[in-house]
Amino acid sequence: MATKELHLAHTKGFCAGVVNAIDIVERCLKKYGTPLYVRHAIVHNTSVIRDFESRGVIFIEDIADVPADHVVVFSAHGTEPAVYKQAQERHIQVIDATCPLVTKVHRQALRYTARGVHVVLIGHRGHQELIGTAGHIRPELLHIVEDAADIDALTIPASTEIAVLTQTTLSLDDTSGLIHQLQKKYPHIITGKKEDICYATQNRQNAVKELAKICDMIIVIGSPNSSNSNRLVETAKHSGTASFIVDLPEDIDFKRLTPFDRIGVTSGASVPHILVDQLITRLIQYFPGINVFEYPSVENDIAFPLPPAVRDVSL
Ligand code: SF4
């Protein structure tokens, strides 16, 4: 029998937007104490949310659930302007943990709306990032598409100005296919110099494609509501390698890995690296003698500035 191999992806741990959002909540806990209110899951990861809840963070969706004299942190995924307005009307201080790469898309959405440009927004309906970005576009100019059928159904007059924006955590390959379809239907569509898919999503998908060349099974650690983690499973499968997502290392049934000789492990951008380490330890325990191959990270140190309200708080 061949010796089993374990291959670890070139990307590890949190992306810069998640580091920033978690850092903001930590600093708010120190500055304002508990209960601390956060609108929406600060990042889409079960273990991060459970840890904050155990320390007095209350996650809410409706600003009405925040008492008037408290601050509220807005999640990394971005928030629609109507919600900022609700907070302002109730004199609730907002500490904004929106990832700056999402804010960049919001700014572009506002510029298009100001010019009266129709915006085709590619993303997953119901995902907080899409809801937040859509809120920055005038409703009569907004066209949300998820797939090719949605593009076929678009009835925007060809004589109007049209642009495309995307969620930051989509599949690179699927999105370029959809943009190509849009360009065929609307040759004058403004696509921008670069798509809006962020560096962390791109790096993780590229790393999975590399793993897929070597592995016959790829485990993606990530929560079921994490868009970028689910796209990693799809990327592996599109590359011809079996793959599944697991939220926590203890959730895995290791027996199902027995038929595979070369197992790859990767994780979404909001997954604490400790979960990857725990999974590796369990795999080594379950398959003694498994050869572990680790590759250097492709990510440079990227850091985003903190909001002024918590910049001076030391941890
Ligand atoms: S996945 Fe990308 S857009 Fe989302 S928080 Fe991370 S860096 Fe920002």
Q: Are residues 211 and 262 in the same domain?
A: yes
CATH code of 75's domain: 3.40.50.11270
Strand order across the beta sheet in which 71-74 lies: 57-60, 36-39, 71-74, 93-96
- Is residue 138, in this structure, part of any structural domain at all? yes
Query: 284 with 213, same domain?
Result: yes
* Pocket test residue of 22, 75, 99, 204 for ligand 1, highest count of atoms within 8 A of CB: 99
Query: Hey, which residues are catalytic here?
Result: 129
CA atoms within 13 Å, Cβ hemisphere of 40: 22
The residue nearest atom 7 of ligand 1, judged by CA position, is 17
What does the mean pLDDT of the chain come to? Answer: 96
- Domain residues for the domain of 44 are 16-99+304-311
Which of 158, 185, 212 is the last residue before a domain boundary?
Answer: 185
Query: pLDDT, tens digit, for every residue of 247-260?
Result: 999 999 999 999 99
- Please indicate, yes or no, if residue 194 is contained in any of the structural domains: no
Does residue 161 lie in a domain region? yes
190 within some domain: no
Q: Identify the domain boundary among 121, 154, 185.
A: 185
Beta bridge partners of 95: 73
Q: Write the residue with the smallest CA distance to atom 2 of ligand 1.
A: 198
- Nearest by Cα to 99 from 191, 164, 30, 168: 168
Q: Does residue 299 form part of some domain?
A: no
> Which of 133, 158, 185 is at the close of a domain?
185
Quote the number of domains for the chain: 3
Does 282 share its domain with 204? yes
From the alpha carbon of 14, which atom of ligand 1 is closest?
A: 6
Q: Ligand 1 centre and the CA of 16: distance in Å?
A: 7
How close is the Cα of 50 to the center of ligand 1, in Å? 21
Same domain, 21 and 106: no
Distance of CA 205 from the midpoint of ligand 1 (Å): 13
Residue-level pLDDT, tens digit, the chain, 315 residues: 568 999 999 887 899 999 999 999 999 999 999 999 999 999 999 999 999 999 999 999 999 999 988 999 999 999 999 999 999 999 999 999 999 999 999 999 999 999 999 999 999 999 999 999 999 999 999 999 999 999 999 999 999 999 999 999 999 999 999 999 999 999 999 998 777 999 999 999 999 999 999 999 999 999 999 999 999 999 999 999 999 999 999 999 999 999 999 999 999 999 999 999 999 999 999 999 999 999 888 887 899 999 999 999 999
Q: Model confidence over 24-51: pLDDT tens digits?
A: 999 999 999 999 999 999 999 999 999 9
Ligand 1 atom with minimal separation from the 169 CA: 1
Phi and psi dihedrals of 121, rounded to 5? -105, 115
Do 89 and 107 belong to one domain? no
Shared-domain flag, residues 207 and 149:
no
Query: Residue 120 sits in a domain of what CATH number?
Result: 3.40.1010.20
Q: Does residue 45 lie within any of the structural domains?
A: yes
Q: Is residue 156 part of a domain?
A: yes
What confidence score (pLDDT) does residue 1 get? 58
* Ligand 1 pocket, mutate which of 15, 22, 266 (most atoms under 8 A from CB): 15
Give the pLDDT of residue 132.
Answer: 98
CA 196 to centroid of chain Cα atoms: 12
CA 20 to centroid of ligand 1, rounded, Å:
10
